[in-house]
Amino acid sequence: MTLPLPSTIVFVCKPIVSNTNFELSVMDTNDPLDFEVEDDLLKCPPINNIIKRKKIIGLDDLLKDHYIEQGKLLEKRKKQKKKAKKIESSYDDEDSKEARLTRIVEKCHNQLTAFGEEQEISPWGVKVFGDKKAFPSLESPDVGSCNLFQSFLNNCLNSVVELTADKGDIFLEGLLVNGWLSKLAFLCGHVEKPVAVWAFKTMLYSSKEELHNSSSEFWCAILSSEKEVDQALVKIDWFPEYMDLRRALDSYGFLFKFSSSAEPNNLDSDIEGPPQNIRAWIRFVSACCLIRSKKAIFSTVEAEEIVEIIICLFLDRQFQGLLVLLNDCMEVIVNYFTDQEWCSSCENVAKFIACRVSKDLNCIRTIECISEASSRCKQLRSAVAYQTLLSCFDGVYSGEEILRSLTEINFKDNSCDFYRMYINLVLTENWVLSNSLIEDNPVIYEMFSLYLRHCSTLISATNLRSYASKVRHRASYLLHFSIYK
């Protein structure tokens, strides 16, 4: 009887080298077959059942690693301390440099104090306008007696325009702004009194810029037309007087009795200043001066006061934007005088300015605002400088005495006021060099040259007192480029 083989046992014949006979060997069913062993594609990846053992670290290794980390930490802290020390040392260096610079500055300040206290020089500028007064009301023109207006009323086209007597001011404003009023005046050759009075008051007192500018252009056109050959003369029934212009300035707040010796803080006061109508006022005065040959509007005394007013306006810093307009007005007003009137009028204006303007940078500004464009302007410039110099020295009554007093100044004296010296130098320069008559006086010229040599050579270049270098440099320039040119 044959026993059945278990299903889990497979008999495999393996050759035995020592014996050619085959033996049956029992193998597990999970083992690969022979052909599976031989075939590379059927091979299964070996299962690594070996569990890797962790490396066992001893206590000595742990201590070693701890000491290494501690050493790195200490090294890092040392580097940080070195870096902080470098930064602190740089700060210390900066502090030491700042302290050294402070000591140097204090030393220089003490040296300057030894020469004399530094003067606080106030800038030039005078408030020549105060509080404004109430303007007179602008009344409507009396169009009932105006032939120009009546001609429009009686025109057949008035039915379209519907012009009435109570709309006379509106009608004239439209003609004025559009430039038709001056054209009608040229065509008619006549400006009636109601129109002239209305246009003048509108120019001086209207708050509308368009109106007072147009009125100024109207008057300038009418007045200048008398100088044109190809245009007919315009007859003006009414002409303003100087008192009308003076009354307008008074309404603007002009200080006729101002003094430039006021405190400097007045320059920053809250006073609003003149209205925009002052531009029209200046233009109208210039236009009036240009027609002296046709009509003498101002008397000699009134013209002198206008020159004084224009110079005062130069001293107000609010008029920096009107320098061109003021220069033009100055040139035409000095040419308004006749040759017989000018000599005495020039001296009168110079004395007035010398008494009213303080002996600081304002008196230099007064000299510089008078241009040298014409011989009369140069003469006025020289006269103002001369009269100002006379008021600077007590008991001095001539040019020789002025220059003698200047040459006797001891520049090495610590009490020498170089700021005052600078003002005297500028005044003397304009007095001598702007007057053509002094060129024929060799005594004045020689004394002035001696004074310049003293200023340029006796003042040391190391003199650090206020205005010392300015006096020396200006005198050197004048000596080389104005005297010996």
pLDDT digits (tens, 9 = 90+) for 250-274: 999 999 886 665 554 455 555 567 8
The Cα 470–Cα 466 span in angstroms is 9
CA 454 and chain centroid, separation: 37
**More confident: 344 or 105:** 344
What is the DSSP code (8-state) at residue 23?
E
Pairing of strands 19-27, 190-191: unpaired
Q: Which of 199, 220, 241 is the last residue of a domain?
A: 241
Tens digits of residue pLDDT in 125-152? 888 998 888 888 887 777 667 777 777 7
Tens-place pLDDT, residues 208-232 = 999 999 999 999 999 887 545 544 4
Q: How far apart are CA 278 and CA 204, in angstroms?
A: 8
For every residue of 106-164, which 3-state class applies, written as one string? HHHHHHHHHHCCCCCCCCCCCCCECCCCCCCCCCCCCHHHCHHHHHHHCCCCHHHHCCC
Find the angle CA(207)-CA(209)-CA(215) to the nearest 5 degrees: 95
Residue that the structure tokens 């007057």 belong to? 435
pTM (2 decimals)?
0.72
Query: Is residue 404, in this structure, part of any structural domain at all?
Result: yes
Helix, strand, coil fractions of the chain, as percent rounded to 5: 60, 5, 35
Vertex 160 angle, CA 154 and 161, to 5°:
70
Q: Per the domain annotation, does 288 fall within a domain?
A: no
Closest to 302 in 3D by CA, of 348, 237, 234, 261: 348
User: Which residues span the domain enclosing 462?
Assistant: 395-484
Distance (Å, whole) CA 233 – CA 291: 12
Quick one: tokens of 192?
Answer: 């009636």
Within a domain: residue 269? Answer: no
State which of 195, 223, 241 marks the end of a domain: 241
The pLDDT value given to residue 352: 93
In a domain, 448, yes or no: yes
Q: What is the pLDDT of residue 169?
A: 76
Over residues 412-425, the pLDDT tens digits come to: 887 888 899 999 99
Looking at the domain assignment, is residue 327 inside a domain? no
Determine, yes or no, domain membership for 224: yes
Question: Dihedral of CA 407/413/417/418: which sign?
Answer: positive
Nearest to 146, CA basis, from 174, 178, 184: 184
A 10 A CB-CB count for 79 gives: 10
CA–CA separation, 317 and 321 (whole Å): 9
Burial-class residue 35 by CB neighbours within 10 Å (0-12, 13-18, 19+).
exposed
Q: Let me know if residue 64 belongs to a domain.
A: no
242 pLDDT higher than 90: yes
* Phi/psi at 16 (5° precision): -110, 130
Reported as a single tens digit per residue, the pLDDT across 269-313 is 555 678 889 999 999 999 999 888 778 889 999 999 999 999 999
- Over residues 331-370, the pLDDT tens digits come to 999 999 999 999 999 999 999 999 989 888 999 999 999 9
Contacts of 399 (CB under 8 A, 6+ apart): 386, 431, 438, 444
Residue 310 is assigned to a structural domain of this protein: no
340 vs 10, more confident: 340
Check whether 115 has a pLDDT greater than 70. no
CB 313 within 8 A of CB 126: no
Which of 263, 358, 370 shows the shortest CA–CA distance to 308? 370
Q: What is the mean pLDDT of residues 381-399?
A: 91
What pLDDT score was predicted for residue 206?
92
pLDDT at 484: 58
Number of domains within the chain: 2
In this model, does residue 325 exceed pLDDT 60? yes
Q: Which of 207, 241, 275 is the last residue of a domain?
A: 241
Residue-wise pLDDT tens digits, 47-85: 444 444 445 556 777 777 777 888 888 888 887 877 776
Which residues of 314-447 form beta strands (DSSP E)?
A: none
- 270, 279, 250, 268: which is closest to 126 by C-alpha? 268
- What percent of the chain has a predicted confidence (pLDDT) above 90? 36
